[in-house]
Amino acid sequence: MGEQLSPDEKFELITRNLQEVLGEDKLKQVLQERELKVYWGTATTGKPHVAYFVPMSKIADFLKAGCEVTILFADLHAYLDNMKAPWELLALRTQYYEQVIKAMLESIGVPLDKLKFVKGTDFQLSREYTLDVYRLSSMVTEHDAKKAGAEVVKQVEHPLLSGLLYPGLQALDEEYLKVDAQFGGVDQRKIFCLAEKYLPSLGYTKRVHMMNPMVPGLTGAKMSSSEEESKIDLLDRKEEVKKKLKKAFCEPGNIENNGVLSFVKHVVFPLHSEFVIKRDPKWGGDQVYTEFEEVQKDFAAETIHPGDLKASVEAALNKLLDPIRKKFESPELRKLSSTAYPAPSKHKAKGGKGGGGGGGGGGGAAGEEDEVIPSKLDIRVGRIISVEKHPDADSLYLEKIDVGEAEPRTVVSGLVAYISQEALQDRLVVLLCNLKPQKMRGIESQAMLLCASVEGEPRRVEPLDPPEGSSPGERVFVEGYESGAPEDELKPKKKMFEKIQVDLKISGTCVAQWKEKDLMTKLGQITCRTLKGGNIS
């Protein structure tokens, strides 16, 4: 099909839906002379999820435009990125990625014979490549390496040398894969800029760089392999897909940070010529769209209901996932999945002393269930939509709070003595969302608003503040406990929150912490305004 297109038509197809292209002139020049050679790489860390359909649909565009496409399974990068893939699981995870990515491509009708698949360790351990790593390390400063990996490599207080090497290796891959262009997310931009700066210093050509926008996950933030609620796994059952989509942030009329709409734009329309909104005849019946802009316009005008949009995306998504699920029904692939991503081990306590540290078990029958693990808490950013006095209690407020779900939650909080209604209205707050709902003076409270407090005369209380720019529904996690799924509902008898709350404090710089580890969203730290050294409740 690529041979039938003009260079200008190929350029349009290659660049459609991209956020940015560095080196457009060079891209056009190559297309005038021959087919473009492009590569997309993925570090073999957490399980690929449905957001991977976004780069897959671009790879389909590249092939339609006649490009020679290489897919790199970056196994060595997975290890270098703060050992996200343990060395002993590296080969298994690479096999899993290869099988699942091929299944995704087959699901969207991409012919595998047009693609070249390469493992990083197939060439990154060669003598020539290793010498180039040393040559590059004599040129790249620590500052440049850290800056380049800031949005890709896991950032920690004391970074390992491996994370500083990561961006340089990704730059060298362009030369060793002999491509004209590298394709990735816009979060890779700083790595691409490092490649453009340093490859010519080694005597190598500067490449074209093509970037996809970062597509929001279901919580409104970047879809992440480590954040269970923000992603739909490629092997999730239909019931799980329905459940996760039901929780997805999809506020009526809101087209910002809407992962459900983004999926329609970046996956459904590039792969199909139309999208059908399925709905009851009494609400107008099915509506067929041939342009994403029309879908977006109607959703903004609230002529498409969030429930109908989710149901239609659910149908489209299951159509894509069915062949992948079917392929992974084989005993060999089921075994590969469970061995590449083993369930967290449950260790027994030794010597009757109980297990220590974050990874150890509680011992005996209690095991992992009773471990104090902060990732079991479903803490989210919320926005207070309305606030009024409780009709039957002078000390209580009744708030409607958007936590990224289809409907706001009702929350009852005892803040009347500490903060005015006006100060709470439209304010971003932090909520614990998986406590068992409790009736307070006859009204059920569906979440707990988390506050800093300092005892004394008078007692002082302040709601916690998410980072600036946060959106309702964004997950709040304890640094170092990003992975792990929150429980659907905390069991009151286990007193999980009470056990964690003992160590929830405000630091001397007004940062919310658990055992001196920061509470964070992807945008930064959770803070309070003035109550240094306070407690959190």
d(CA 221, CA 217): 5
CB contact set of 388 (below 8 Å; sequence gap of 6+): 397, 398, 421
Helix, strand, or coil here: 500? helix
Q: Domain check: are 152 and 246 in the same one?
A: no
Q: Domain check: are 288 and 178 in the same one?
A: no
* Least confident stretch, 96-100, 205-209, 483-487: 483-487
Whether the CB-CB separation of 323 and 103 falls below 8 Å is answered with yes
- The answer to whether position 28 is within a domain reads yes
- The answer to whether position 118 is within a domain reads yes
- The answer to whether position 1 is within a domain reads no
DSSP string, 472-499: TT-EEEETT--SSPPPSS--GGGTHHHH
pLDDT in tens, 342-391: 876 543 333 333 333 333 333 333 333 456 788 889 999 999 999 999 99
Domain count along the chain: 3
- The answer to whether position 443 is within a domain reads yes
Q: Domain check: are 174 and 40 in the same one?
A: yes
CB contact set of 103 (below 8 Å; sequence gap of 6+): 234, 323, 324, 327, 328
- Please report, for the domain that includes residue 157, its CATH number: 3.40.50.620
Q: What percent of the chain has pLDDT over 70?
A: 90
Q: Domain check: are 208 and 263 in the same one?
A: no
d(CA 277, CA 295): 9
Is 192 buried (19+), middle (13-18) or exposed (0-12) by CB count in 10 A? buried
DSSP string, 372-415: --GGGS-EEEEEEEEEEEETTEEEEEEEEEE-SSSSPEEEEE--
- Label residue 285 left, alpha or beta by phi (over 0 means left) and psi (-120 to 50 means alpha): left
Q: What is the mean pLDDT of residues 226-231?
A: 54
> Looking at the chain, how many residues does it have?
537
Cis ω on the peptide bond leading into residue 331 (within 30° of 0)? no
- Please report, for the domain that includes residue 317, its CATH number: 1.10.240.10
Q: Domain check: are 254 and 124 in the same one?
A: no
Q: Is the pLDDT of residue 225 over 50?
A: no
- Please report, for the domain that includes residue 405, its CATH number: 2.40.50.140
pLDDT in tens, 257-275: 788 898 899 888 888 888 9
Q: Domain check: are 294 and 431 in the same one?
A: no
Q: Domain check: are 434 and 324 in the same one?
A: no
- What are the residues facing 449 on neighbouring strands? 431
d(CA 293, CA 286): 18
Q: Domain check: are 90 and 22 in the same one?
A: yes
pLDDT in tens, 35-88: 999 999 999 988 888 889 989 999 999 999 999 999 999 998 888 876 666 778
- The answer to whether position 181 is within a domain reads yes
> In Å, what is the CA distance from 111 to each residue of 151, 234, 494?
32, 20, 52
Q: Crossing angle of helices 127-137/161-176, nearest 10°?
A: 120
Q: Domain check: are 128 and 33 in the same one?
A: yes
Whether the CB-CB separation of 193 and 148 falls below 8 Å is answered with yes
End-to-end CA distance of the chain: 62
For residue 405, give its domain range. Answer: 374-536
- The answer to whether position 368 is within a domain reads no
pLDDT of residue 2: 42
d(CA 57, CA 131): 36
**Per the structure block, which two tokens stand in for 299?**
């959703």
Last residue of a domain, one of 328, 360, 392: 328
Q: Domain check: are 26 and 167 in the same one?
A: yes
Q: What percent of the chain has pLDDT over 90?
A: 55
Averaged pLDDT of the chain: 86
Structure-model confidence comparison of residues 107 and 251, the more confident one: 107
pLDDT of residue 62: 95
Q: Is the pLDDT of residue 321 over 90?
A: yes
Q: Domain check: are 44 and 179 in the same one?
A: yes
pLDDT in tens, 167-177: 899 999 999 99
Last residue of a domain, one of 271, 305, 328: 328
Last residue of a domain, one of 197, 212, 227: 212
Q: Domain check: are 510 and 383 in the same one?
A: yes
- The answer to whether position 98 is within a domain reads yes
- The answer to whether position 335 is within a domain reads no
d(CA 9, CA 65): 8
